[in-house]
Amino acid sequence: MTNTTIIVNAALDAGIFTEEQIKQYLESIGELPLHTFNGWKERGFVVRKGQKAALKCDIWKYSKKTETVPAKTPEGKETEQEIDINHYYKKLSHFFTVAQVEPVQA
């Protein structure tokens, strides 16, 4: 299940959008006007002070990490090797609607 599917289902369950509204948003702009604090910030908006999240749900986050582990060379020497330990995990995220944000003032 993708993050978009998770968010759409959660928004429907919470009554934030109707199925018709969701269909229109996805067809016209490809996403819902429902983003996290940082998501709105990236789009040039700020969440108004005192606003509470309109929606809270677990979405997939990606963790990109490397770990150094002991290893041996083909000649038998002790050395260290970096391995990738990238993975996805679920994280509770807080979403705000367009009615809860305003443009960033320069």
pLDDT tens track for 45-100: 999 999 999 999 999 999 999 888 888 888 888 888 888 989 999 999 999 999 99
Nearest partner of 55 among 101, 17, 21, 10, judged by Cα: 10
pLDDT at 106: 67
Rounded to 5°, angle at Cα 8 from 7 and 14: 85
- Residue ranges covered by each domain of the chain: 3-101
Q: Report pLDDT digits (tens) over 5-37.
A: 999 999 999 999 999 999 999 999 999 999 999
* Element holding 78 (H helix, E strand): strand 78-84
